[in-house]
Amino acid sequence: MGMVCGEFRMKTPMDDDNLNAPPKAAPLTRADIATIMTGLMIAMFPGALDTTIVAPAMPTIARELGDAEHLPWIVTAYLLVSTAATPLYGKLSDIHGRRIMLLVAISIFALGSVLCALAPTMITLALARAVQALGGGGLVSVAMTVVGDIIPPRERVRYQVYTSIMWTTASLMGPVLGGWFAEKWHWSWMFWINLPLCLLAWLVTDSKLKRLPRHERPHQLDFIGAFLLVAGSVLFQLALSWGGSRYPWNSTPILGLFAGTAIMIGLLIQRLRTAREPLIPYTLLSNKIVLTGSASVGMAMGVYIALSVYLPVYFESVRGFSASQSGLALLPLMMCPTIGAVAAGRAMARVRRYKIVPLIGLGLSAAALLPMFFWPRDLSMATIEILLTLVAIGVGAVFPVTTVSVQNSVAMHELGTATSLVTFARNLGSALGVAIFGVIVIGGDYSPSGASGALGNKDLANLFSWTFLAGSLGFLLALTAMSRMEERPLRERSGQLEN
């Protein structure tokens, strides 16, 4: 009465009385898990590549489309929509199964990539990025949920190498390809390249994930909560984008946007309290590990993504780099999180106080940005690369610890929603980080000219120094949240493993 290779037992009414009990499934061998992990990494790769490939080409896109004022929207539109979509994917995967929802995410992501490549204006590009985000919101969260399904927390570090290889490869390829496409070919190739990757991901995922154990449970989808979240985020982003540029900060339109943001947040909070099954379940929000872990990863990733978006502007405007050179200069920030992730994963498998690695890492990340605050013009590029390496290592240690800790603290039938909540926090923090850095650097006054993409007549070095200080403070806040996250012993089993 269980699952054997490719067959699943039929659900009966008795199942409703045993929702919290793990389903009886034929054990997966380590070879089976390695095969499934390969499929997951291929499915996640297009989304991982998309997070790094766009940044080096942003100044070029602004010049060619002639609309630098809305430049941050090609990042924030993706982040905002994927933020709202991520919890929905978690619940949908709990309802319909991981495999089908991962295939849906891949398909939507491919469609959005085509629309991005064909976009004639910055506004249409931002809208196309929103469509792409509807798929991207599920790529990472569903794949990470599958990892939680088949591998117990203490065993998970053995398979960290798969994720590390995938992210390192994407991090290495993304900045180089983005800068090279923008300078040598055309920026639209950043999106065309997703099509063969998505096709490969579909073919591999469709066959590899049929062996998954299943933990389905009926859910209601909170579309109202998702709408309130997106509406509040968009209003807040508009206030930050237009304040001080189109309108004075104390003008009626800007104050109205902030007021609208507050109203939407208030309605969202009320919705979370009263909905039968809210977008973010109250049981998860009352879980201190979920709350503090999500807060830590949200703030850390907010700074990290904002740096990855605006450092190419810094390299091209302050340092005079070309697009391809800025992509190469970004490599330490993009590739070195893997070092921190592997170190944190090994610590989780070997020591009880496994928070020590991300705590030290976040402290190093905060300290590394301070020299860039004090000497934004004078530091050598070698020094900057070393500092960015320290930032990346520190950030990399946060995600595996928070993800495994959150998954370790919830029941199996909540795994999809809980994992999606961590990704949700990452995306929301990233959107806010990009918006805040945009207020400091761009302020609606971005005027690309020539190869450097200069920002009008502003003192860019001084502006970027304040972004580095803001980033340091953000890492300190992430460190504070991490220090308050409980360290529970990791579960030994989440399913049967055979040697």
Asked if residue 41 lies in contact with residue 162, where contact means CB atoms within 8 angstroms, the answer is yes
Tracing tokens 């005079």 back to the chain, one arrives at 320
pLDDT of residue 217: 59
> Do residues 133 and 229 both lie within one domain?
no
Answer yes or no: do 174 and 125 share one domain. yes
Q: Can you give the pLDDT at residue 416?
A: 66
Residues 227 and 143 in one domain: no
Residue 494 pLDDT more than 80? no
**Both 378 and 482 in a single domain?**
yes
3-state secondary structure (DSSP) of residue 2? coil
pLDDT of residue 354: 79
Domain containing 52: what range? 26-211+277-498
Higher pLDDT pick, 459 / 134? 134
Q: Residue 261: inside a domain, yes or no?
A: yes
For the chain, give the longest Cα–Cα distance: 72
Instruction: Mark whether 372 and 494 lie in a shared domain.
Output: yes
Q: Which residues are registered as beta bridge partners of 497?
A: 28
- What pLDDT does residue 160 have? 59
For residue 329, tell me if it sits in a domain.
yes
Q: Which of 276, 292, 317 is the last residue of a domain?
A: 276
Lowest mean pLDDT among 4-8, 213-217, 439-443, 457-461: 4-8
Task: Choose one of 255, 276, 297: the last residue of a domain.
Answer: 276
Split into its structural domains, the chain has a count of: 2
- Regarding whether 354 and 294 lie in a shared domain, the answer is yes
425 neighbors 294 (Cβ within 8 angstroms): yes
How far apart, in whole angstroms, are the C-alpha atoms of residue 195 and residue 249?
A: 43
CA distance 468 to 366: 9
- Tell me which H or E stretch contains 48: helix 30-53
Tell whether 236 and 315 lie within a shared domain. no
pLDDT reported for residue 13 = 40
| 50-100 confidence digits (pLDDT tens) | 766 777 777 778 788 877 667 777 877 787 777 777 777 877 777 777 788
- 299 and 189 belong to one structural domain: yes
Average confidence (pLDDT) over 480-494: 77
How many Å apart are CA 498 and CA 32, to the nearest integer?
Answer: 10
Residue 3 has pLDDT above 70, yes or no: no
Say whether both 345 and 484 belong to one domain.
Answer: yes
Paired tokens of 12: 């009966």
Query: 311 and 237 share a domain?
Result: no
Enumerate residues 6+ apart whose C-beta is below 8 A from 96: 216
Contact present, 108 and 124 (Cβ < 8 Å): no
| Region 185-190 average pLDDT | 84
pTM above 0.75, yes or no: no
Q: How high is the pLDDT of residue 455? A: 46
- 170, part of any domain: yes
Give mean pLDDT, residues 241-247: 69
What pLDDT is stored for residue 4 in this prediction? Answer: 35
User: CA–CA separation, 474 vs 471, rounded Å?
Assistant: 5
Q: Are residues 358 and 304 in the same domain?
A: yes
**pLDDT on residue 390:** 93
In a domain, 321, yes or no: yes
482 lies in some domain: yes
4 falls within a domain = no
SS3 444: coil
Among candidate residues 231, 259, 276, the one where a domain is terminated: 276
User: Distance between CA atoms of 489 and 348, rounded to whole angstroms?
Assistant: 10
Does a structural domain hold residue 14? Answer: no
| pLDDT at residue 412 greater than cutoff 80 | no
Would you call 21 exposed, middle or buried from its count of C-beta atoms within 10 A (0-12, 13-18, 19+)?
A: exposed
* Domain shared by 243 and 148, yes or no: no
Residue 317 belongs to domain with CATH number: 1.20.1250.20
The winner for highest mean pLDDT among 212-226, 260-274, 400-414, 449-463 is: 260-274
Q: Which residue has the tokens 């297009």?
A: 46
Q: In what helix (H) or strand (E) does residue 300 lie, and over which residues does it extend?
A: helix 288-317
Q: Which residue has the higher pLDDT, 121 or 27?
A: 121
Q: Are 166 and 45 in contact (CB under 8 A)?
A: yes
pLDDT at 445 > cutoff 60: no
- Please compute the mean of the pLDDT values over residues 460-466 and round it to a whole number: 80
- 376: in domain: yes
